[in-house]
C-alpha cells in the first residue's frame, strides 16, 4: 500500500472517531441540557441553594412606664453536617468543650446521624455570644450558625406570674406569654440563600417576609409590683403561710397596677417538672377560695339598696348565738346588739346573718352577681377561674346565712378587687384590665393591643357607694382593720378570716384564708388593694391588714397622690390587737360552737390612782361634725372643733373619764 493511501485511511479513521466522539458529546449534551435538565437543576439547587427559616423575634412586653419585662435577644443555633466532618471524634471533643456539652453523648449523636446518612444535626440551640464567637474563630467549614432569638426576662422573677414564660420552642407556656402568644410570636420568614462550596452564603432571596411579634404595654407598674411582691413574701414567710396573692387596682379604670403571688419563679430558667409548672400558676386569677368576712361588705351594700336598714339601725345579735333553721351558730364575741355600721366594723357573724335575712335569698344572690362574682373578669391570662356562686335552686334554708358572711361562695383575689372597686369608684362594675393601648412610651414602637371590656355597668347607687366607704372607713378607724391605717392618707377596708375546710377529714381546720380588702384615700380612692394569705394561723386583721398598709402607702407615694390627712395627726383611737373576724358557715359542715381564743382579762385598777367623777369620752372617729355635736350635747360635753370633714383625731382619747367641764378637742379632716 502506497504511503498516500495509508495517510488517507488514517485521516478517514480519525474523522470517523472524531465524528463519533462529537456525536457522543452532542448526545450527552442533549441528555444533560434537555432530557435530564430538570433533575440536574434540582440537584444543583440542592447543593448550591439552601432554604433558611428566619425566626421572628417575639414582641417585647413593657410595664406601664416603658420598662421592659420580657424581650427577645439574638442568639445562634450551632448545626453540623456529619457527612462532611473529617474526624467525628475530634469534632465532638471540640464542640463539647466550647459549648459545654457532654462529649460522649455528643459523639453518640454525631455517629448516629452519620450512619443514618443525615447531613443536618443541631448541636446546641441558643448559644450565648461568647461560645458562638469562640467557635466562629475556628473557621470550621462543617459548622453552620443559624440566627435566632431567645426570650430574656431582665427583672428575673418580678411579675413572673403575669408575664409568664416560654418553652424550648419559644412559645408561651404561662402568663401573658401564653395568653397573648399569637400576638407576641409574629410570623417566621423563609430566605433562599445561594452558597459556595463551603456552604457560605453570598446571595439571598426572600421567599416570605418575617414579621416580628407585636409589642405589648401592660398596666403593671414595676415599682409598685416590687413593693407588693416584697411585702407579700415577707408576710407569707413570717406567718408560716402556704401561699399568698395580692392585687393593686385602679378602681376607676380597672387597670391592674400590681399582681403578686408567692411563691414565685424565675422565667429565665426552664421548667423542671410538673411541680415547677404548677408553681407558675397565677394564684390571684386561677385559685378561688371562700372569702369569709370581707364578703360582709357586699351583704350590707345589698341591704342599703333593698331594705330600710341604715348604718344606725340596731341589729339584734342574740348575745352571739343564733338558731338558723336548726343550725346553732355562735359568734366570735357575744354581742347583744350592734348598729349595722358596727356589724361591719366589729365583723359580727350573727349581725351579718340577720342583715342577710332581711335582704332575702333572691336579692342577696342578685347583688352578689352584680358585684361580678361567679363570672370571669376576662383577663387574657390562662386558666382564669370564675369562682363559684351557686344557683338559687341549690341553696338550702341556711345558705343565706353562709353567703352573708362569705361562705358557700368562692372568689379569686382579682374578683375581690373588682368588687371593692365598685364601692371605691361610686357604684360601677369596672372590669380589670392588664394591657393598655395608645402611643408608645420611649422605645415602644407599637402598642395596639387592648382588652375590650365594654362600658362599665352600674352595680349600686352612688349614694350607697358613698355610705359603704364611710362604713368601711369605720372598720379601719375603730374595728378589726386598725392595722391598715396609713400615714397621711385616710383608708377604708374589711378584714376576713375564713377557716379552711379539710376535704379529707370533713372538718374546718385552724388555718385561715386571712385577707384584707381596702382602698385609699376614702373621699376619692386612687387604688384598691386586696391581700390574701392562705394557711395563716392568725386573723386577717393581724396578718393581711399590715401588708395593705405597707403596699398602699408605698403605691400612693409612687403615684404622687395628694395626702388628705395632716402629717402630724394622732389617731382618734390607738390601734389595738385586731378583733376576731372569723366566719365559719358552709352548708352541711361542722360549725364553730365556741368563741375562738381566750379574751384578755381587764387590767386591775390602780388603788392609788385619783378617782375622776365625770363623763366618759366617746369615740368620735369617722363621724361628721353634726354627729359629734349631737352626741356631745346629749352627754353634756364641751367640744372644741378644728378643721372640716370627719373626725380624725381627738384629745383626750376615747374611753377616758374626764372631769366635769373639761373640754374635748376634736380635729376634722377630709
The pLDDT of residue 590 is: 35
d(CA 284, CA 515): 12
The DSSP 8-state label assigned to residue 270 in this structure reads: P
Q: Which one is predicted more confidently, 273 or 423?
A: 423
What's the angle, vertex CA 166, arms to CA 160 and CA 171, rounded to 5?
140
pLDDT tens-digit readout, 652-666: 878 777 776 678 888
The DSSP 8-state label assigned to residue 218 in this structure reads: E
CB atoms under 10 Å from CB of 505, counted, come to 9
Mean pLDDT for the stretch of residues 23-40:
82
d(CA 524, CA 425): 8
pLDDT tens-digit readout, 463-480: 999 999 999 999 999 999
Q: Which of 534, 562, 531 is nearest to 548 (CA)?
A: 531
The DSSP bridge pattern shows strands 243-249 and 172-174 to be: unpaired
pLDDT tens-digit readout, 613-651: 457 788 888 888 877 877 776 677 788 877 777 788 787
Domain 606-670 has CATH 3.30.10.20: yes
| pLDDT reading at 335 higher than 70 | yes
The pLDDT of residue 333 is: 87
Give DSSP secondary structure letters for 631-653: HHHHHT-EEEEEESSEEEEEESP
Superfamily of domain 51-218: Penicillin-binding protein 2a (Domain 2) (3.90.1310.10)
d(CA 612, CA 170): 77
Q: CATH number of the domain at 222-440+449-583, please?
A: 3.40.710.10
pTM of the predicted protein model: 0.76
Grid look-up 377561674 returns: 385
Q: CB under 8 Å to 503, separation ≥6 — which residues?
A: none
The pLDDT of residue 471 is: 96
Q: Which one is predicted more confidently, 42 or 342?
A: 342
Exposure b/e, 619-651, CB count within 10 A at least 16 = b: bbbbbebeebeeebeeeebebeeebebbbbbbe
What are residue 99's DSSP bridge partners?
A: none
Reduced to 3 states, what is the DSSP secondary structure of residue 595? coil
Q: Which one is predicted more confidently, 66 or 277?
A: 66
| pLDDT reading at 427 higher than 90 | yes
| pLDDT reading at 51 higher than 90 | no
The DSSP 8-state label assigned to residue 19 in this structure reads: H
Distances, alpha carbon 127 to alpha carbons 54, 74, 75, 399, in Å = 16, 10, 6, 60
Q: Which of 412, 417, 352, 404 is nearest to 548 (CA)?
A: 417
What the block records as the C-alpha cell of 44 is 444543583
| Least confident residue range of 204-218, 304-318, 516-530 | 204-218
What the block records as the C-alpha cell of 260 is 403578686
pLDDT tens-digit readout, 130-161: 888 899 888 888 888 887 788 999 999 999 99
What are the residue ranges spanned by the domains of the chain?
3-35, 51-218, 222-440+449-583, 606-670
Q: Which of 406, 661, 653, 648 is nearest to 512 (CA)?
A: 406
Q: Which of 662, 670, 605 is nearest to 635 (CA)?
A: 662
| Least confident residue range of 195-209, 487-501, 586-600 | 586-600
State the chain's mean pLDDT as an integer.
84
| Least confident residue range of 368-377, 508-517, 591-600 | 591-600
The pLDDT of residue 437 is: 58
d(CA 259, CA 63): 12
pLDDT tens-digit readout, 80-121: 888 888 888 899 999 999 998 999 999 999 999 888 888 788
Q: CB under 8 Å to 399, separation ≥6 — which residues?
A: 361, 390, 408, 587
Helices (H), 340-456: 340-345, 349-359, 361-370, 399-404, 413-424
Mean pLDDT for the stretch of residues 31-49:
75
What the block records as the C-alpha cell of 578 is 385586731
Domains 51-218 and 222-440+449-583 alike in fold = no
Reduced to 3 states, what is the DSSP secondary structure of residue 321? strand
Cα diameter, the chain: 166
| pLDDT reading at 441 higher than 70 | no
Give DSSP secondary structure letters for 219-231: S--HHHHHHHHHH
Amino acid at each position: 500500500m502506497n504511503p498516500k493511501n495509508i495517510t488517507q485511511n488514517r485521516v478517514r479513521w480519525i474523522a470517523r472517531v472524531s465524528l463519533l466522539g462529537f456525536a457522543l458529546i452532542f448526545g450527552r449534551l442533549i441528555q444533560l441540557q434537555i432530557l435530564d435538565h430538570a433533575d440536574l437543576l434540582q440537584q444543583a439547587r440542592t447543593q448550591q441553594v439552601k432554604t433558611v427559616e428566619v425566626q421572628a423575634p417575639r414582641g417585647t412586653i413593657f410595664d406601664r412606664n416603658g420598662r421592659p419585662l420580657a424581650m427577645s435577644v439574638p442568639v445562634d443555633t450551632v448545626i453540623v453536617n456529619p457527612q462532611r466532618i473529617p474526624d467525628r471524634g475530634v469534632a465532638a471533643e471540640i464542640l463539647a468543650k466550647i459549648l459545654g456539652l457532654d462529649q460522649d453523648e455528643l459523639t453518640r449523636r454525631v455517629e448516629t446521624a452519620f450512619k443514618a446518612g443525615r447531613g443536618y444535626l443541631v448541636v446546641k440551640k441558643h448559644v450565648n455570644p461568647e461560645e458562638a464567637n469562640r467557635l466562629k474563630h475556628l473557621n470550621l467549614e462543617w459548622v453552620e450558625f443559624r440566627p435566632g432569638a431567645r426570650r430574656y426576662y431582665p427583672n428575673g422573677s418580678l411579675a413572673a406570674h403575669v408575664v409568664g414564660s416560654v418553652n424550648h420552642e419559644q412559645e408561651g407556656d404561662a402568663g401573658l406569654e401564653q395568653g397573648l402568644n399569637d400576638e407576641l410570636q409574629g410570623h417566621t420568614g423563609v430566605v433562599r440563600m445561594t452558597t459556595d462550596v463551603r456552604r457560605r452564603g453570598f446571595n439571598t432571596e426572600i421567599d416570605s417576609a418575617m414579621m416580628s411579634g407585636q409589642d405589648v404595654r401592660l398596666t403593671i407598674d414595676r415599682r409598685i409590683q416590687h413593693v407588693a411582691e416584697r411585702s407579700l413574701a415577707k408576710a407569707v414567710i413570717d406567718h408560716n403561710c402556704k401561699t399568698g396573692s395580692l392585687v393593686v387596682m385602679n378602681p376607676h379604670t380597672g387597670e391592674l397596677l400590681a399582681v403578686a403571688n408567692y411563691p414565685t419563679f424565675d422565667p429565665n430558667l426552664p421548667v423542671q417538672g410538673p411541680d415547677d409548672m404548677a408553681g407558675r400558676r397565677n394564684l390571684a386569677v386561677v385559685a378561688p377560695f371562700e372569702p369569709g368576712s370581707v364578703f360582709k361588705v357586699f351583704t350590707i351594700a345589698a341591704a342599703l339598696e333593698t331594705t330600710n336598714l341604715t348604718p344606725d339601725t340596731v341589729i339584734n345579735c342574740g348575745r352571739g348565738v343564733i338558731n338558723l333553721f336548726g343550725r346553732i351558730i355562735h359568734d366570735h364575741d357575744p354581742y347583744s346588739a350592734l348598729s349595722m355600721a358596727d356589724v361591719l366594723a366589729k365583723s359580727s357573724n350573727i349581725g351579718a346573718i340577720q342583715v342577710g335575712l332581711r335582704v332575702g335569698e333572691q336579692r342577696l344572690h342578685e347583688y352578689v352577681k352584680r358585684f361580678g362574682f361567679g363570672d370571669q373578669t376576662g383577663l387574657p391570662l390562662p386558666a382564669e377561674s370564675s369562682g363559684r356562686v351557686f344557683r338559687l335552686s341549690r341553696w338550702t334554708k341556711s345558705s343565706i346565712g353562709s353567703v352573708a358572711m362569705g361562705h358557700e361562695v368562692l372568689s379569686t383575689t382579682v374578683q375581690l378587687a373588682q368588687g371593692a372597686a365598685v364601692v371605691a369608684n361610686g357604684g360601677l362594675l369596672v372590669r380589670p384590665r392588664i394591657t393598655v393601648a395608645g402611643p408608645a412610651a420611649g422605645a415602644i414602637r407599637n402598642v395596639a393591643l387592648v382588652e375590650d371590656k365594654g362600658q362599665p355597668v352600674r352595680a349600686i347607687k352612688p349614694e350607697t357607694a358613698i355610705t359603704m366607704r364611710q362604713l368601711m372607713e369605720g372598720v379601719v378607724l375603730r374595728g378589726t382593720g386598725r392595722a391598715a391605717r396609713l400615714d397621711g392618707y385616710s383608708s377604708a377596708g374589711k378584714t376576713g378570716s375564713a377557716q379552711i375546710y379539710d376535704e379529707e377529714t370533713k372538718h374546718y381546720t385552724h388555718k385561715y384564708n386571712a385577707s384584707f380588702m381596702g382602698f385609699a384615700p376614702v373621699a376619692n380612692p386612687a387604688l384598691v388593694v386586696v391581700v390574701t394569705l392562705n394557711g395563716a394561723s392568725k386573723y386577717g386583721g393581724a396578718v393581711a391588714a399590715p401588708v395593705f398598709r405597707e403596699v398602699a402607702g408605698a403605691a400612693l407615694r409612687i403615684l404622687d397622690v395628694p395626702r388628705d390627712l395632716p402629717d402630724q395627726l394622732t389617731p382618734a383611737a390607738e390601734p389595738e390587737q385586731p378583733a376576731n373576724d372569723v366566719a365559719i358557715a358552709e352548708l352541711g359542715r361542722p360549725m364553730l360552737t365556741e368563741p375562738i381564743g381566750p379574751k384578755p382579762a381587764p387590767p386591775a385598777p390602780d388603788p392609788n390612782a385619783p378617782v375622776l367623777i365625770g363623763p366618759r369620752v366617746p369615740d368620735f372617729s369617722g363621724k361628721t361634725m353634726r354627729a359629734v355635736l349631737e352626741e356631745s350635747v346629749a352627754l353634756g360635753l364641751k367640744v372644741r372643733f378644728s378643721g372640716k370633714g370627719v373626725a380624725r383625731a381627738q384629745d383626750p382619747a376615747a374611753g377616758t373619764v374626764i372631769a366635769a367641764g373639761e373640754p374635748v378637742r376634736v380635729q376634722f379632716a377630709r
